[in-house]
C-alpha cells in the first residue's frame, strides 16, 4: 500500500467509533430532552431526504438510522422506568 491508500480496517474502526459516540450522545441528550428523538425521527422520515439520487441510493442508510433512533428511544424510555422504581 502507498501512503494514500485507505486502510479499510482503520476506516471500519473509525466509523464504528463515530457511530457509537453519536449514539451515546443522542441517548444522553434525549434523556435530558425527550423531544429530540421525536424531532430526529421526523427529519429522517421526511421524503425530502430521498429527492436526489444520493438520497434514493441511501434508503438503506435512512432505514438503519430510523431503526437506531427507535432503539435509542426504547433505551431512554427504559432508563426513565428504572428511575421510577
For 24-76, write each residue's pLDDT tens digit.
898 889 889 989 988 888 877 776 666 667 666 666 777 788 888 888 888 88
Cell for 71? 432503539
What ranges do the domains of the chain cover? 8-84
**Cα 41 to Cα 37: distance, rounded to the nearest angstrom:** 6
Element (H, E) at 19: helix 8-32
C-alpha cell at 26: 443522542
pTM, full prediction: 0.63
pLDDT score, position 10: 86
Name, in order, each residue with C-beta under 8 angstroms of 58's C-beta and a sequence gap of 6 or more.
49
Between these two residues, 6 and 28, which has the higher pLDDT value?
28
CA 11, 12, 15, 16 torsion-angle sign: negative
Amino acid at each position: 500500500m502507498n501512503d494514500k491508500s485507505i486502510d479499510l480496517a482503520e476506516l471500519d474502526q473509525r466509523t464504528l467509533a463515530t457511530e457509537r459516540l453519536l449514539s451515546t450522545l443522542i441517548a444522553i441528550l434525549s434523556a435530558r430532552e425527550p423531544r429530540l428523538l421525536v424531532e430526529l425521527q421526523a427529519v429522517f422520515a421526511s421524503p425530502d431526504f430521498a429527492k436526489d439520487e444520493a438520497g434514493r441510493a441511501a434508503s438503506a442508510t435512512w432505514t438503519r438510522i430510523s431503526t437506531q433512533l427507535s432503539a435509542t428511544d426504547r433505551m431512554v424510555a427504559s432508563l426513565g422506568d428504572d428511575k421510577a422504581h
